[in-house]
Structure 1
Amino acid sequence: MASKSAAVLLSVPGPDGAREVRLTSPDKVYFPERGITKGEVVEYYRAVAEPLLGALRERPTNLKRYPDGIDGESFFAKRLPKGAPPYVETARVTFPSGRTADSLCPTEQAVLVWAANMGTFDFHPWPVRRADVDRPDELRIDLDPQPGTDFADAVAVAAVLREVLDEAGLVGWPKTSGGRGVHVFCRIRPEWDFVAVRHAVIAIARRVADRSPDRATVAWWKEERGERVFLDYNQAARDRTVASAWSVRGRPRATVSMPVTWETLPDVEPEDFDVRTVPGLYAEHGDPHAGMDEAAGGLERVLEWYAADERDRGLGDLPYPPEYPKMPGEPMRVQPSRAREKPADAT
């Protein structure tokens, strides 16, 4: 391979013929533990471009960039970086603060290669398409193991989640997070806003926690979670994203957030999916999530659950992340131990 200072031009298939994308410092080491280079990461994204575009196409997408590899600083790019080539398209999004931005909107393979050349590992798409950026077409549930739990616990909770989704009339599509967690996505009709979709995730997560109270929780405050898997409902809030399927994660083994089936999920090991193994698995088995777009469902039943929880159990909304403006119906953002503290002069 060329030396660090040498740049090469890659010929990348495009909608109107091949495009040339410049790759700089291809032998720069991004993952020292395994000697994985920038050039390998770029070639990985070329190998999985088709299914990755299926996950990203027409979606506003944040880039998690590691310009100096995993030993350097990483940052999120929520706006299209300066100097983008003319074929890179955008979508206008609105943040919870009311500010707007033109976000990257991938439409072709060259965009993926260009982003990878800038040190992008993870692609973090919004759960919307740019035709309507205020109504999600994807419901996402993040199963996040807390200290004392691991991937096997997340898989066990995912099995309960699958049962709840079946009752809701929704089809779930699981993937590894690239770490210890599991992500489950459901395609939905884009008929509900972010608030309603978040309420739907809360209602689903509560039912999972009710059925598996020793293993699952919706407690926002860490002091209340214990050794359980947290169903992170706030990943459904506006401007919160998770790594897409096929994304490289900034972990020492260069693991990948790998789409899997419900049948294979109990037997997989997250560390088996990385930059070097996934292209061969994709070539052999194809995309496990290929049918997602044909399985769109609705939230009518789930939102009935949310309303019933509020009416019959006194369970309303849950706290938003601290950077969000105060939302209607949201409880106080005070962790329970502090809320129970009395003032120093109280008698």
Structure 2
Amino acid sequence: MAGKQSSPAVELEVGEHAIRVSNPDRVYFPASGATKLDLVNYYLSVGEGIVRALRDRPCMLHRFPTGITGEKVHQKRLPRGAPDWVETARVFFPRYKRTADELCVTELASVIWAVQMSTVEFHPWNSRVPEIEKPDEWRIDLDPMPDCPFDRTRRVADVCWELLDELGIRGFPKTSGGSGLHIYVRIEQEWVFKDVRRAALAFAREVERRAPDDVTTTWWRKDRDPSMLFVDYNQNARDHTMASAYSVRGNPDATVSTPFDWPELADLDPRDFTIATVPERFAKLGDLTAEIDDVAFSLEPLLEWADRDERDGKETPPEPDADSD
């Protein structure tokens, strides 16, 4: 019995590079029938945004060689066979005393090549080369527990928005691609990961003070109320990554981690943002993170809050385990 024939490859010109997309008709998202080529075309449609989100950052790839119903590969090292124009960043993993050369996007062609290599999700570090040990991005992760309604997540995001405004800090919100929300803040590249996490914890505790019925900062997951929202300061620890802005998520609905404007929050439904809908939104609104690099903010006010909390007897929880390499 003859085996099933694969569809012919498609060659694309992306910038100065030709990229061969094999198995373009392979269905990656069975719920919608979206194919590998649909995924490629999605990333081409948001090229400016995805490159801005990834530029100069070590990036872990979530690869699905046979589509999202198959094996998921968490890949830190650049996949074999990369063209010589695909750039990398070398990172060190102290726990394993090893290094890895991770994808470091500098142009859209690198993104499309990674998709050709079955990448669906892009998870960049919150630091950039050459200062990999000093983050330039503070990430506020609003992580709902299993029974947390989205209205609660929305309320907490409102509190964060208000608090950032009081601090004179501009935060850029996005959906997570799941049930949570993320807020990214560009920061001065002066602090190491432990400092940024400590500042993030101080912010999370202040949000908890203002919304005690909605928010928890409890360290152990088993000790959290399943209806609450966890403000996850641990996403600022070294080698912890989140899906970038404009990254597709590996779920049946092909949702996208999508930037939005704060006034949209009241009516926001993250399920509306998919590889089928975001291209038109991007064409209409452009990249809503386009100004994120315009101003870098200081963490000093938050570190002063951290000092205050520690004087009051609050302890800084231990560093979480990093992902293995």
TM-score (norm 1): 0.89
* 1:200 alignment partner, SS class: helix
Q: Does the CA-based 8 Å contact 2:240-2:323 persist in structure 1?
A: no
RMSD: 1.5
Structure 1: gaps (5+ residues): 326-347
2:45 corresponds, among 44, 47, 54, to 47
Tell me which amino acid in the other structure corresponds to 1:86.
D
The 1:324/1:113 distance shift into structure 2, 3 A limit, reads closer
Secondary structure of the residue that 1:55 maps to in structure 2? helix
Distance in structure 2 (CA, Å) of the matches to 1:56 and 1:324:
19
Does 2:20 match 1:10? no
Query: Using a 3 Å threshold, how does the CA distance of structure 1 residues 322 and 129 change in structure 2: closer, same or farther?
Result: closer
Counterpart-to-counterpart distance in 1, 2:322 and 2:112: 32
Match of 1:182 in 2: 181
Give the CA deviation at 1:258.
0.2
Aligned to 2:222: 223
Matched, 1:124 2:123: yes
Residues 241-261 of structure 1, C-alpha deviation per residue, up to 9 Å, x if partnerless?
000000000111100000011
- CA distance in 1 between counterparts of 2:210 and 2:46 reads 37
Check the 8 A contact 1:49/1:109 in 2, yes or no. Answer: yes
- What is the distance in 2 between the residues matched to 1:82 and 1:220? 38
Runs (4+) off by over 6 Å: none
Q: Which moved more, 1:171-180 or 1:222-231?
A: 222-231
**Given residue 183 of structure 2, which amino acid in structure 1 is its aligned partner?**
V
Summarize the Cα distance change of 1:323–1:132 in structure 2 as closer, same or farther, 3 Å threshold: closer
Identify the residue that residue 321 of structure 1 maps to in structure 2: 320
Q: Aligned partners of 1:182, 1:30: CA distance in 2, in Å?
A: 25
Query: Once the two structures are aligned, what percentage of the paired residues are identical?
Result: 50
* Structure 2 gap segments, 5+ residues each: none
Does residue 86 (structure 1) correspond to residue 84 (structure 2)? The answer is: yes
Distance 2:188 2:197 in 1: 15
Partner residue of 1:262?
262
- Map of 1:292-311 to 2, 5 A cutoff? 292-311=292-311
Q: Which residue of structure 1 lines up, in the alignment, with residue 70 of structure 2? A: 72
Contact 1:96 1:324 survives alignment (8 Å): no
Deviation, 1:79, is: 1.2
Cross-structure match for 1:138: 137
Please say which of residues 97-106 and 23-32 is displaced more in the overlay: 97-106
Matching residue of 1:239: 239
Return the offset for 1:86.
Answer: 0.7
Aligned residue pairs: how many? 318
Q: Is the contact between residue 239 and residue 323 of structure 2 (CA under 8 Å) also seen in structure 1? A: no
State the Cα deviation string for residues 54-85 of structure 1 (Å, max 9, x = none). Answer: 11111111111111111101121111111111
Residue-by-residue CA offset, 1:223-281 (whole Å, 9 max, x unaligned) = 32111001111111000000000000011110000001111122121111101111110
Letter in structure 2 aligned against 1:71: T
Which SS does the other structure have where 1:264 is aligned?
Answer: helix
In the alignment, the residues of structure 2 paired with residue 159 and residue 42 of structure 1 have an alpha-carbon distance, to the nearest angstrom, of 34
1:96·1:239 contact (CA, 8 Å) conserved in 2? no
Pairing 1:156–2:148 present = no
Deviation of 1:99 after TM superposition, in Å, equals 2.7
1:282 and 2:282 aligned? yes
Mapped pair 1:106 → 2:108 = no
> What letter matches 1:66 in structure 2?
F
For 1:56, the aligned partner's letter is L
C-alpha spacing 1:296/1:113, structure 2 compared with 1 (3 Å): same
Q: What secondary structure, in the 3-state scheme, does the structure 1 residue paired with 2:109 have? A: helix
In the aligned structure 1, how far is the partner of 2:175 from the partner of 2:323?
Answer: 28
Amino acid at match of 1:257: S
**Are positions 1:251 and 2:230 aligned together?**
no
Classify the secondary structure of the residue corresponding to 2:71.
coil
Q: For 1:71, what is the secondary structure of its paired residue?
A: coil
Aligned partners of 1:83, 1:116: CA distance in 2, in Å? 14
Amino acid at match of 2:276: R
**1:199-218 map, 5 Å:** 199-218=198-217
Deviation at 1:324, TM superposition (A): 8.3
Matched residue, 2:35: 37
CA distance, structure 1, for counterparts of residue 24 and residue 151 of structure 2: 37
Maintained 8 Å contact 2:175/2:270: yes
